[in-house]
Amino acid sequence: MKAPIREIFCSAQGEGPYIGVRQVFVRFEGCNLSCIYCDTPQDKKSEYCRVESVPGSFEFTNLRNPLSPEEVSATMKRYANVHSISLTGGEPLIYAEFIRELNIGVPLYLESNMSLPEKAAKIKDMVDYVAGDFKLAQAHSSDHYDRYLENMVECFRILAKNNKRDCFCKIVLIENFDKEEIINGVSLIEDYVSVVVLQPVTPIGGLKAPSPKEVLGLQEELSYLDVRIIPQSHVIWGAL
């Protein structure tokens, strides 16, 4: 079994409550959604997976796609003293069967759009950390948003926090967000997560983040939970 990997590199986690921890990122190619703020190109297949030779160097070697689980596991050995392996994308749950074959010996940190519950069930006992998105309707490209919402809640239920796994929710906020939509959606998953992260969008392609007043107001509305406002940090200091 093989999977197309866009890149493998070592950096610091730039989002969420684990911001700053040292990770190896395995960026899978392809996604079943198309969000308006996505910063990962999905318009063409990658003939090669680029692998950073030295963390932070932006120097890469190429491995021909698709890669086997053994090739990915072997590549991990060049990176030391990491907190976890971030499985990101794209959407890594597309490749749940591939992930089951990984033998890395380092905790796995899943970054997911939380839309594929059947796939989530296949790897729920393998991941130690789940960074799950709650995609808002204004950012969602599908005509079947109600179906996405149902799948999102089911994914959080399957991958819920427990004594062996942390699970948190990330919500990317664009200007003119629907506060009631967020409050209602969070109420459906609040029992499954440790933290709710409000992430003002990084302005790209004309997108604008909401005002601090709006974001702080939403945080106050959700103050019965652990809610944190955490923008993307890696773009500030120019890291991958």
pLDDT greater at residue 211 or residue 205: 211
Closest CA to 102 of 122, 63, 74: 74
Greatest C-alpha distance within the chain: 49
Mean pLDDT of 197-222: 94
Mean pLDDT of 9-32: 96
Q: What is the pLDDT of residues 148-191, one digit of tens each?
A: 999 999 999 999 999 999 999 999 999 999 999 999 999 999 99
pTM: 0.95
Mean pLDDT of 63-75: 96
Domain boundaries, the chain: 5-237
Q: What is the pLDDT of residues 37-67, one digit of tens each?
A: 666 655 568 899 999 999 999 999 999 999 9
Residue ranges in 112-211 assigned as alpha helix (H): 117-123, 145-158, 179-189
* pLDDT value at 28 more than 90: yes
pLDDT at site 204: 79
DSSP strands (E only) in 44-165: 48-52, 60-64, 84-88, 108-112, 129-133
Mean pLDDT (the chain) is 94
Selected from 3.20.20.70, 3.40.630.40, 3.40.50.970, 2.130.10.10, the CATH number assigned to the domain covering 5-237 reads 3.20.20.70
**pLDDT tier at 33 (50, 70, 90 boundaries)?**
confident
pLDDT at site 42: 58
Q: What is the pLDDT of residues 75-132, one digit of tens each?
A: 998 999 999 999 999 999 999 999 999 999 999 999 999 999 999 999 999 999 999 9
**Angstrom distance (rounded) from CA 225 to CA 70:** 41
Closest CA to 172 of 224, 211, 221, 210: 210
pLDDT at site 184: 97
